[in-house]
Chains A and B, each alone.
Chain A
Amino acid sequence: MRTATLALAAFVLSSVPALAQAPPQKAEAKAVAVPFTLLPSRHMLLEVKINDKGPYKLIFDTGAPMNLLTPRLAKSSGMMKNAKSGGFSLFGGMNQIDIDKLEVGGVVAEKLPSVVMDHPTVKAISDAFEEDFGIIDGIVGFPFFGRYATTVDYQKKELTLKPTDYKPGDYMQDLTKNLLASGDRKNDPKVIGSAGLWGVTFEKETGDAEAGVTVKEVFAKSPAEAAGLKAGDRIVLIDGRWADTIADAYIAASLVKPGREAAIEVKRDGKIVKVKLTPVKGY
């Protein structure tokens, strides 16, 4: 069994070659509005040029961690030369490529990781609406929109794209790492660390189903003391996030970088009190 496990793991590794990281965006932080068509199935359809060919019609999908092109589109836009080695694939019948150039309403993204495959749902939607909307040839997902501050307005049927410094990375690469790591990893819970030092301890009894966690102790001369937190306070919100369990409170704290002020909402003597806490660097 152990051998089978290792062999499988190796298979996944060899089938998912490393892709080049996307180059940094050219800093031209201008927002560009792009119209989209709303299909009767309520999917967003974008007109996209790939390698200056097209326009092709692709579904804009925030739930897609990767871009997807139909083999038809990959061929006609001359993308198949970019295909990585095939072999065993978790999803079967799938190639990975980098799209050299993808253009949406004048916004150009280069070197976008993508998979090439016939996706049954894309095909079903395409078939259903081909008469009115033309053939649908794939999905635009996270590797594209992750590069922008992307605003979706269904009322105006408009997508607004403003470049940011965020680098979406490559899902397939991460997936492989993730799978391999999870095979080796002990089945321990994930450890969540606060991003900064607060100087406070929390407690919550098992069986306590009320919202929030209780402050047990506030250390002298700490950010928590400076914020005015007191033992017995019931913290319900940290930086806009629910703090219903100790783990939740730590997750919220893990996202407040030292030096940034976080709003904390506390129940004290039956009243809601709002305090501001700025963590410092420390452990």
Chain B
Amino acid sequence: MSFLLSVTAAIALAAADPPIKPADRYEIPYRLTDTKHVLVRTKLNGKGPYNFILDTGAPAVFVPKKLAKEIGLKLDSKGWGEFESFEIEGGLKVEKATTRVEDLFQLEGMNGLGLAGVELHGVIGYNVLAKFRITYDFTADKLAWIPLEFDPPPVRAIGGGGQGGLELLGPMMKILAGFMGIKPNFDAKPRGFLGFETDERKDGVFVKAVLADGPAAKAGLKPGDKLTAVGVAPSGSKKKPSMLDIDRPRDLAKAFAEAKAGDEAKIEILRGDKAETVLVPFGKGL
């Protein structure tokens, strides 16, 4: 679904911005959400980080009421506020950034279903985007933001109110989430750590080195070992782990993808021409 937003209320205009003395170019880290939205992180009034979508379909920054309260945003009578500080990950501070405070059904709906894979807190639209020349290149892991000597003209509201019935979609998606037993969990947990370097060769994946005192070294994995199959037993599980044959490097990545500290890796190796099994408990680290 699209974020396309319009401002339907009259607008109080912020005073003209003073010229900022900017860097020539900012490298702004971004992620693409599962819903194909361009996500950047912000710290607002020193709090955060919060996840924001870059949206040329929105005339301004939008934050929901709850977040506005959390960061102590003061609002005027028209539902606009000015951040004391608005920082975008990548070292960019936007001076005197203003925002609409409004609950967006798009965010509610997507967060209710966990569709984006991360919690979305707000939207950055024209009033901030227009101050920069921004390049979106999805083969790069950063966006290029070049400050413009440009004071974006203010937004004009259009008539009418609401989103023509679309605003019902948010609650509807929440209900759907309930029906489908979806309760999104936006937490992230680090993968467990083994402490060995791999050597990817045509004839398979080998151990190149083990970190001294790391879990792999303690369990007896050695340089030169060829990894033939691996499995992961979750912590406390009595079941035998299902083993995955290792033909290519990506097999290994797949096998370890969900492993957490405390789980145990069962690694079948060839040492010379002798087949052996090494059990390595995942530790913490990377």
Contact = CB atoms under 8 A, between A and B. Distances in A.
A275 interface: no
Interface residues of A, number: 91
Residue of B36, B90, B209 with highest tally of chain A CB at under 10 A = B36
Given A65-B36, A121-B163, A183-B180, A283 B256 contact: yes
A124 B59 CA distance: 14
B35 A192 contact: no
Contacts of B3: 61, 63-64
Contacts of B56: 43-44, 60-63, 152
Interface in A235-275: 239-242, 244, 246-248, 250-253, 255
B19 interface: no
Contacts of B130: 42, 154-155
A77 interface: no
Contact of B2 (A5, A139, A164, A198): A139
Contacts of A188: 185, 189
A246 B113 contact: no
B163 A120 contact: yes
Interface stretch (B72-80, B152-160, B268-276): B152-160
Interface stretch (B47-55, B63-71, B236-244): B47-55
B25 interface: no
B257 interface: yes
A221 interface: yes
A262 to B, nearest CB: 10
B188 A189 contact: yes
Interface string A149-164: 1111111000010001
Given A4-B179, A183-B180, A250-B286, A240 B142 contact: yes
Contact of B150 (A119, A142, A154): A154
Contact of A124 (B137, B150, B158, B212): B158
Contact of B41 (A65, A123, A150, A242): A242
A42 B185 contact: no
Contact of A178 (B34, B60, B89, B181): B34
B1 interface: yes
B133 A123 contact: no
B194 interface: yes
A171 interface: yes
A62 B136 contact: yes
Contacts of A151: 133-136
B134 A282 contact: no
B31 to A, nearest CB: 8
B4 A121 contact: yes
Top 5 A-B pairs ranked by shortest CB distance? Answer: A120-B164, A63-B55, A63-B3, A61-B57, A193-B191
Interface of B: 1-8, 27, 29, 34-38, 41, 43, 49, 53-60, 89-91, 113-115, 117, 123, 125-127, 129-130, 133-142, 148-150, 152, 155-160, 163-166, 169, 173, 176, 179-185, 187-191, 193-200, 208-209, 211-214, 249, 252-253, 256-260, 283-286
